[in-house]
C-alpha cells in the first residue's frame, strides 16, 4: 500500500493580529488548500450532488443538486480519467473534492484521488469537504488514497466531533468550514472553542451568499443582499469579522473568505491559469483569463469547405499555418484578431462573415462577446 508524506499542516497558533489578503481576513496562517486556491491552482472536483443534509442555505445549483453526477471545473465527468486530464490542462497543483457529500460516493472519490496523486506525485495537494461523521475506516481509506486536508461542515452538534478528533489524530490536516449566518456569533464561537480544544488546525468562515436554490429560504428569513452588485447576504461579513475579533487569543487559525474574493479573484485566477496553459498561437489571453480570437464563418459549413478556405487563405495571404485552424466543434475557421480584421477588409466574399470572439477557456467554451466585423459583399 502506498504511504504518502503529508503536507505540513499549519499548526494551530495563538494570534492577536488580524491580517488581510484581498478582501479576506485571517488570524494565524491559511490552510494549504486555500493558499493554492488563491493562486488559481486548485482543480474543483464536484464528486456528486447527493447529500443527506437539508441545509436551508445550500447553494448547490439545480443542475447539480441531488444528482449523482460528477463535474470537474464545470465540465461533466464521463470517465475518471477526465479529472486527471482537466488537472493537466490547467497545470493544477492540487484538487478540492466537493459536492454534495463526497464521502457518500466514497469509491468514486477515491477513484478520482488516486490517479491524481499517481500522475502528479505526493506534492499534489488534495482537500475534501464532508458534513458527515466519518468512521476510522473511512478516514484511513481517504488518507491512504492521498487526502491531505479534511474540512468538516458542521450542521449539528452530534458525532461529527469524534470524527474531527480522529482525523486530526491521524495527522490529516483537519479543520471546519462553515458559512456565516448573520447573527450566529455564539454558535460559531462555540465551534471555534471546541475545535481549538481538540487540536483542530483551522476554522474557515465563508460569507453567506444567495443562490437560485436558497433564495426562497433566505427570503423567509428576511435576509437581504449586501449590495446591488453582490450575491452576499447583508450582515454575514459583520458577524465573521466580529468572530475574528473575539477569537484573537484562541489557539486556532481562522480565515474569513468573502464572496467578492470568490467572484473577482478565485475564478479569475483559475481561468487565467487555464487560458495561459491552453491558448493556441493565435489566441490572446485577456486580463480576466478569457481567450480573444478572430473567427471566420461560412454559409452551410462542411469540413471540406472550411479546409479548402483555410488552404486558400494560407496560400493567398501567406498566413502561417499555426495561425489559422478549422474549429471542428463550432464548424468555423479560427485565427488571430489581427488577421481576422485584415481579412475582413481584404477578402470580401459572399457568404463569408468575420467576427471577434471572446470565450471562456473551459470545456464548454462559453462565448462572452461576439463582435461582427465589416459585413462581406
Ligand atoms: S451539507 Fe452542503 S451540500 Fe449538503 S445540504 Fe448542506 S450545504 Fe448542501
Would you call 293 exposed, middle or buried from its count of C-beta atoms within 10 A (0-12, 13-18, 19+)? buried
3 state SS of 138: helix
Q: Is the CB of 142 under 6 A from ligand 1?
A: no
* DSSP state, residue 351: T
The protein residue whose alpha carbon is closest to atom 8 in ligand 1 is 58
Tell me how far the alpha carbon of residue 87 lies from the centroid of ligand 1, in angstroms.
25
Tell me how far the alpha carbon of residue 66 lies from the centroid of ligand 1, in angstroms. 10
53 CB less than 6 Å from ligand 1?
Answer: yes
DSSP class per residue in 32-78: HHHHHHHTT-EEEEEEES--S---TT----TTTTT----EETTEE-S
Numbered ranges of CATH 3.20.20.70 in the chain: 19-274
pLDDT one-digit tens code per residue, 167-184: 999 989 999 999 999 999
- The CB of 51 under 6 Å from ligand 1? The reply is yes
**Distance of CA 213 from the midpoint of ligand 1 (Å):** 11
Per-residue model confidence as pLDDT tens for the chain (377 residues)? 444 444 568 888 787 899 999 999 999 999 999 999 999 999 999 999 999 999 999 999 999 999 999 999 989 999 999 999 999 999 999 999 999 999 999 999 999 999 999 999 999 999 999 999 999 999 999 999 999 999 999 998 778 999 999 999 998 999 999 999 999 999 999 999 999 998 889 999 999 999 999 999 999 999 999 998 889 999 999 999 999 999 998 999 999 999 999 877 888 888 999 999 999 999 999 998 999 999 999 999 999 999 999 999 999 999 999 999 999 999 999 999 999 999 999 998 889 999 999 999 988 888 999 999 965 45
pLDDT computed for residue 102 by the predictor: 97
- Strand 324-327, strand 332-335: pairing: antiparallel
**106-120 and 136-145 helices, crossing angle to 10°:** 30
How far is the C-alpha of 129 from the C-alpha of 33, rounded, in Å? 11
pLDDT of residue 7: 56
CATH 3.20.20.70 fits 19-274, yes or no: yes
List the grid coordinates of 53: 443534509
Give the pLDDT confidence of 82-95 residue by residue, as tens digits: 999 999 999 999 99
Task: Supply the pLDDT for residue 172.
Answer: 92
How far is ligand 1, taken at its centre, from the CA of residue 67, in Å? 13
154 close to ligand 1 (CB < 6 Angstrom) = no
Identify which of 63, 103, 155 to mutate to test ligand 1's pocket (most ligand atoms within 8 A of the CB).
155
| CB contact at 8 A, 249 and 243 | no
Q: How many CB atoms lie within 10 A of CB 213?
A: 15
Rounded to 5°, the CA angle 158-7-273 comes to 100
Report yes or no: 354 and 298 within 8 Å, Cβ to Cβ: no
pLDDT value, residue 3: 41
Q: Which atom of ligand 1 is nearest to the CA of 54?
A: 5
| CB of 153 closer than 6 angstroms to any ligand 1 atom | yes
Q: How far is the CA of 172 from the centre of ligand 1 (A)?
A: 22
* Nearest-atom index, ligand 1, CA of 60: 8
Q: Is 52 in the pocket of ligand 1 (CB under 6 A)?
A: no
Measuring from atom 7 of ligand 1, which residue has the nearest CA?
58
At CA 144, angle to CA 67 and CA 10, rounded to 5? 90
Amino acid at each position: 500500500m502506498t504511504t504518502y508524506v503529508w503536507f505540513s499542516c499549519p499548526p494551530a497558533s495563538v494570534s492577536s493580529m488580524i491580517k488581510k489578503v484581498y478582501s479576506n481576513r485571517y488570524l494565524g496562517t491559511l490552510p494549504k488548500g486555500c493558499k493554492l486556491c488563491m493562486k488559481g491552482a486548485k482543480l474543483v472536483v464536484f464528486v456528486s450532488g447527493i447529500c443527506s443534509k437539508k441545509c436551508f442555505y445550500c447553494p448547490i445549483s439545480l443542475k447539480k443538486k441531488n444528482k449523482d453526477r460528477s463535474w470537474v471545473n464545470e465540465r461533466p465527468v464521463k470517465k475518471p480519467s477526465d479529472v486527471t486530464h482537466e488537472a493537466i490542462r490547467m497545470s493544477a497543483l492540487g484538487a478540492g473534492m466537493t459536492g454534495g457529500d463526497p464521502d457518500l460516493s466514497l469509491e468514486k472519490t477515491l477513484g478520482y484521488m488516486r490517479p491524481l496523486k499517481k500522475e502528479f506525485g505526493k506534492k499534489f495537494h488534495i482537500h475534501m469537504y464532508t458534513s458527515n461523521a466519518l468512521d476510522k475506516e473511512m478516514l484511513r481509506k481517504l488518507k491512504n488514497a492521498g487526502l491531505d486536508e479534511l474540512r468538516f461542515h458542521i450542521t449539528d452538534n452530534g458525532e461529527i466531533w469524534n470524527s474531527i478528533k480522529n482525523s486530526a489524530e491521524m495527522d490529516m490536516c483537519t479543520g471546519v468550514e462553515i458559512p456565516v449566518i448573520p447573527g450566529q456569533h455564539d454558535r460559531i464561537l462555540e465551534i471555534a472553542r471546541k475545535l481549538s480544544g481538540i487540536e483542530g488546525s483551522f476554522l474557515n468562515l465563508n460569507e453567506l451568499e444567495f443562490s437560485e436554490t436558497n433564495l426562497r429560504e433566505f427570503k423567509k428569513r428576511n435576509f437581504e443582499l449586501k449590495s446591488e452588485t453582490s450575491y452576499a447576504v447583508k450582515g454575514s461579513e459583520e458577524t465573521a469579522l466580529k468572530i475574528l475579533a473575539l477569537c484573537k487569543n484562541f489557539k486556532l487559525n481562522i480565515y474569513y473568505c468573502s464572496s467578492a474574493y470568490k467572484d473577482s479573484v478565485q475564478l479569475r485566477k483559475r481561468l487565467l491559469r487555464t487560458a495561459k496553459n491552453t491558448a493556441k498561437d493565435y489566441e490572446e489571453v485577456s486580463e480576466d483569463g478569457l481567450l480573444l480570437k478572430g473567427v471566420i464563418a461560412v454559409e452551410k459549413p462542411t469540413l471540406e469547405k472550411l479546409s479548402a478556405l483555410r488552404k486558400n487563405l494560407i496560400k493567398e495571404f501567406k498566413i502561417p499555418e499555426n495561425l489559422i485552424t478549422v474549429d471542428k466543434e463550432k464548424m468555423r475557421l479560427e485565427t488571430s484578431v489581427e488577421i481576422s480584421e485584415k481579412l475582413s477588409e481584404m477578402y470580401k466574399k459572399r457568404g463569408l462573415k468575420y467576427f471577434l470572439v471572446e470565450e471562456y477557456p473551459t470545456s464548454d467554451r462559453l462565448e462572452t462577446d461576439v463582435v461582427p466585423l465589416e459585413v462581406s459583399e
